[in-house]
Chain A
Amino acid sequence: MIVAQQKSLEEILRMIEPYERVMIVGCGTCMTVCGAGGEREVAFLQKALEIAGSRQGEKHTFIPYILKRQCDPEFLDLLTDRIEDVDAILSLGCGIGVQALAEHFPDLPTLPGVDTSFLGIAREWGVWDERCAACGHCLLGETAGICPITRCAKGILNGPCAGPKGGKCEVDNERDCAWVLIYRRLERLGQLDKMRRFYPPRNFERPKRILRRT
């Protein structure tokens, strides 16, 4: 899932300042699950913006709308009839959603209401953890299903640096050292040979930016 965080009210207010009628568009998939831009968050944000805006003497009108998926043109068509008198769209979709909206409605300013953080999972309610860098060259089969690209602060491939203390990363003592985790799990699986192997430099020549299924 894509995980994001809502931007601060101040930043959002600054962005919408020139626009009177602002449509706040939530997203029914990832942003709903990670609590950054679903129905609930759109309603909360609308209230917060109204209160803050009226304090500053600004006159905005907000039109809330939740799309099932912002990243899908099919769903974006649902907005076509609703945006006629709108001055700007404030999207609570991820970066993909914002761009899909911008592409679909080229005459309408589209603003991001969230900061897209990473691809991750919910570790517990309210706590999300990065898990995938979408690097295009998945190594999880060699690393016991634990991603060193995202979970090691340095994203290195040939074992731990000298930094970990008590199994925790040198940059954050709440974060497990990915390589200690990989080591323990490979040991458990009887696959430590995979850690002894040399992994060549990563290939940053990413799969093409456009993927075609043939």
Chain B
Amino acid sequence: MALSLLEEKLEAGEFVVTAEVGPPKGTDLTEMIHHIDLLKDWVDAINVTDHQSSVMRFPSLGGCLLVKERGGEPILQVTCRDRNRLALQADLLFAYTRGIRNVLCLTGDSVEVGDHRGAKPVFDLDSVQLLRGIKEMEEGRDLGGNPLKGAPRFYVGASVHVEADEMEPQLMKFEKKVMAGARFFQTQGIFRVESLRRFMPYASQFGVKVLAGIIVIFSARMARYMNEKVPGITVPDEIIEELSGLEKGKAMQKGIEIASRTIRTIKEEALCSGVHIMAIGNEKVVPEIIEAAGLDGRAR
């Protein structure tokens, strides 16, 4: 029996679409709820980010509960930046008891790139150790080797960078994540389908599901900013050129076009199990991207 709807669809070979919402900085949840309501009928699951870019926000766990309350399928993003192994395990136990079944294990961005630069970076575990830790918990033991009274079970995922300029160390890490129990992967942003075409024949030997990360770029300025400031993202020059010189509305339309074009190619070539759309605060464009990509009939 599948642990979650996400697992069920991926295992059934459906072309899966996921998206993400970032919780607010503060107690006003109106916008996040709006985004969840907007997305839940268009995508198969919604990631809730965990202090994305090391910017302090409402927690991922709370966001996932909201997704559930609104009738969506949440993916809990868990980073190792802010919690030691005790706190991570406690959050996972709680998540399980509240019906959260999909977990994405990440190391997390550095504290220094965020808005609490002087905070203590925890990184007691890394993503691979977290994955292994979950496996232990599922077997009924905590990371200290003590028995659990009631063990959780999760559909566990991780991320992989397929456009790194030094791929070999990234692939080694990918294999370690597979060995540690990751069953699905959401890739970092993909801008060149070619990189996915290269990655997938290699990745498919491991029998894991891969969702290609699609970052929606709304302007040349945003692309340059990301290249400079956002870890792990390199928007290629040809995309920046495509967006250059366009006025605001047009650039946004172009960004939607580029994202949907990439998704369409991935789907047509059946390159991987689906896509993960990261609209970074502009969630309202996700349905439009999905429609433009020709993934009709998704809206329930």
Residues of A within 8 A of B (CB): 153-167, 170-172, 179-180, 183, 187, 192, 195-196, 198-202, 204
B129 in complex: contacting residue of A158, A163, A183, CB < 8 Å: A158
> Could you say which residues of chain A place their CB within 8 Å of the CB of B176?
158-159, 196, 198
Q: Are A165 and B188 in contact (CB under 8 A)?
A: no
Interface contact tally, CB-CB below 8 A: 98
- The contact of A157 among B81, B108, B110, B129, by CB within 8 Å, is B129
**Contact indicator A183/B123 (Cβ below 8 Å):** no
Interchain CA distance A199-B85 in the complex, whole Å? 15
B110 touches A153 (CB 8 A): yes
Establish whether residues A183 and B231, one from each chain, have CB atoms under 8 Å apart when the complex forms.
no
Please name the residue on chain A nearest to B177 by beta carbon: A158
| Distance A18 CA – B164 CA, assembled complex (angstroms) | 57
Contact A154/B179 with A159-B172, A162-B232 known, Cβ cut-off 8 Å: no
Best-buried of A157, A183, A201 by chain B (most CB within 10 Å): A201
Residues in A neighbouring B132, C-beta threshold 8 A: 198, 200
A183 to chain B, nearest CB (A): 4
Instruction: Name the B residues within 8 Å of A195 (CB-CB).
Output: 169, 172
State A171–B111 Cα separation when bound (angstroms). 9
- Please state if B173 and A159 are interface contacts (CB–CB under 8 Å): yes
Asked if B126 and A157 make an inter-chain contact with CB atoms under 8 angstroms apart, the answer reads: yes
Residues of A within 8 A of B126 (CB): 154, 156-158
Interface residues of B in 170-191 (CB under 8 A from A): 170, 172-173, 175-176, 179-180, 188
Closest to A155 in B: B123
- Cβ B173 vs Cβ A160 within 8 A: yes
> Which residue, of A154, A167, A195, A204, has the highest number of chain B Cβ atoms within 10 A?
A154
Determine how close the nearest CB of chain A comes to the CB of B187; give it in whole angstroms: 9
Q: Are A163 and B231 in contact (CB under 8 A)?
A: yes
Distance in angstroms from A13 CB to nearest chain B CB is: 25
Dominant SS among interface residues on chain A: loop
A202 to B123, CA, bound (A): 10
Per-position 1/0 for B102-142, Cβ under 8 A of A: 00000111101100000001011111110011000000000
Judge whether A159 and B231 touch: CB under 8 Å.
no
Contact in complex: B107, A170 (CB < 8 Å) = no
Question: B166 interface residue, CB < 8 Å from A?
Answer: yes
The CA-CA distance from A202 to B129 in the complex, in Å, is: 10
Q: How many residues of B are in contact with the other chain, CB < 8 A?
A: 38
Q: List 6 tightest A-B contacts by C-beta distance, closest first.
A: A159-B173, A170-B231, A163-B231, A162-B232, A156-B126, A162-B161
B165 close to chain A: CB less than 8 A: yes
- By beta carbon, the residue of chain B nearest A182 is B169
Q: Which of A166, A172, A199 contacts B165 (CB 8 A)?
A: A166
Most central of A153, A155, A158 by chain B CB within 10 Å? A158
CA distance A170 to B109 in the complex (A): 8
Given the known inter-chain contacts A198-B179, A204-B124, please indicate yes or no for A161 contacting B231, CB distance below 8 A: yes
A180-B128 contact, Cβ under 8 Å, with A156-B123, A162-B232, A201-B85: no
B residues in contact with A172, CB < 8 Å: 112
The distance in angstroms between the C-alpha atoms of A10 and B73, with both chains bound, is 57
Q: Which residues in A have their C-beta under 8 angstroms from that of B128? A: 158-159, 198
In the complex, the chain A residue whose C-beta lies closest to that of B112 is A171
Taking A165-B234, A170-B232 as known contacts, 12 extra A-B pairs with beta carbons closer than 8 A to each other, sorted by chain A number, are A155-B123, A156-B126, A161-B232, A162-B232, A163-B232, A171-B112, A172-B112, A179-B169, A183-B168, A198-B176, A200-B132, A201-B124
Min distance, Cβ A172 to any Cβ of chain B, angstroms: 8
Q: Any chain A CB within 8 A of the CB of B143? A: yes
The distance from the CB of B73 to the nearest CB of chain A, in whole angstroms, is 25
In the bound assembly, the distance between CA atoms of A166 and B228 in angstroms comes to 12
Subset of 11 A-B contacts with CB under 8 Å: A158-B129, A161-B107, A161-B231, A163-B109, A164-B164, A167-B166, A170-B110, A170-B113, A170-B231, A170-B232, A171-B113
A39, chain B: closest CB distance, angstroms: 34
A171 CA to B165 CA, complexed, in Å: 17
Complex formed: what's the CA distance from A156 to B173 in Å?
12
Contact at B172–A196, with CB atoms within 8 Å? yes
- Do A183 and B169 touch across chains, with their CB atoms under 8 A apart? yes
B159 at interface (Cβ–Cβ under 8 A)? yes
**Bound state CA distance, A204 and B81, in angstroms?**
16
Closest partner residue, chain A, to B163 (CB atom): A162
Is the Cβ of A183 less than 8 Å from the Cβ of B232?
A: no
| Chain A: minimal CB distance from B124 (Å) | 7
Chain A residue nearest in CB terms to B122: A154
How many Å lie between the Cα of A160 and that of B110 in the bound state? 13
| Minimum Cβ distance to chain B for residue A187 (Å) | 8
Question: CA–CA, A160 to B176, complex, Å?
Answer: 12
With A and B bound together, what is the CA distance between A171 and B180 in angstroms? 27
